[in-house]
Structure 1
């Protein structure tokens, strides 16, 4: 899966042919969560508090960029 960002111990992925609503996958050794791009809330899965805080801080200023990339990867014919 394409890694969009890497942190100490986990990564943020944007996947093609993914389902709505727009989200990122946050994947660590012991967790995998889907975090909504628009509201930066956990949609599904588990995640550590530290990882969630880092992702929210990182993504909060990049939501437009993340939405554009999600749309590009998930265009429907």
Structure 2
């Protein structure tokens, strides 16, 4: 598991090695446990509070953060 340095108020962002497609990240916090698609930023599993989801979507939409998420996903989940 790799934690991504996301300055979120209540949650942390993780990318897991050997994870399933589609490429996604995990949002974990007191009110949120969700898997979020890297491309669409939609919740694909779990639940997230509206506040946490809005905050992580804004963060992930920034080009440098999106690049970091995609890079980490590829690093941990390259398949032959």
State the TM-score, normalized to the length of structure 2. Answer: 0.85
Following TM superposition, the consecutive aligned residue runs of length 4 or more in structure 1 with deviations greater than 2 angstroms are: 62-65
State the secondary structure of the residue aligned to 1:56.
Answer: helix
The number of residues matched between the two structures is 77
Once the two structures are overlaid, the 10-residue window that deviates more, 58-67 or 24-33, is 58-67
**What stretches of structure 2 of length at least 5 have no aligned partner?**
none
Q: Which has the higher helix share?
A: 2
**What stretches of structure 1 of length at least 5 have no aligned partner?**
none
**Counterpart for residue 71 of structure 2:** 68
**Counterpart for residue 2 of structure 2:** 2
State the TM-score, normalized to the length of structure 1. Answer: 0.87
Give the CA deviation at 1:70.
0.3
| RMSD between superposed Cα atoms in Å | 1.4
Q: Distance in 1 between matches of 2:10 and 2:70?
A: 24
